[in-house]
Amino acid sequence: MAGERDVTPEQVEALRRDEDAQLVDVREDHEWDAGRIEGARHIVLGEVAAQASTIDQGRPVVFYCRVGSRSAMAADAFRRAGYEAYSLHGGLEAWAGGGRPLEPENGSVAAH
């Protein structure tokens, strides 16, 4: 699937299922607390570069935020560093808007 930076929720599901992709939420703490994708790791955008060594370069990584602009910045930076990195197009709004579940059970997409 290496190629385009922006991936759909369906492509994210396939990357996780078929390639054991890592999922990194780059939103702020209050956004993470409101709702997130199961199995995601939380690294605030400002900390992502400092945490790069903790992200497995041998597996695809999908970054996401609320609508996709912050995650696109992270994906671009990681792609330049040699990672197979993607950004969830439309962000968590697209994920939840397609009827996919969020954690916790009553999770929601927080405003910025």
- For the annotated catalytic residues, the residue numbers are 65
Q: What is the three-class DSSP state of 81?
A: coil
Please give the Cα distance from 52 to 29 (Å, whole number). Answer: 19
Residue 6: strand pairing partners: 87
DSSP three-state, residue 104? coil
Nearest CA among 24, 17, 80, 14 for reference residue 47 = 24
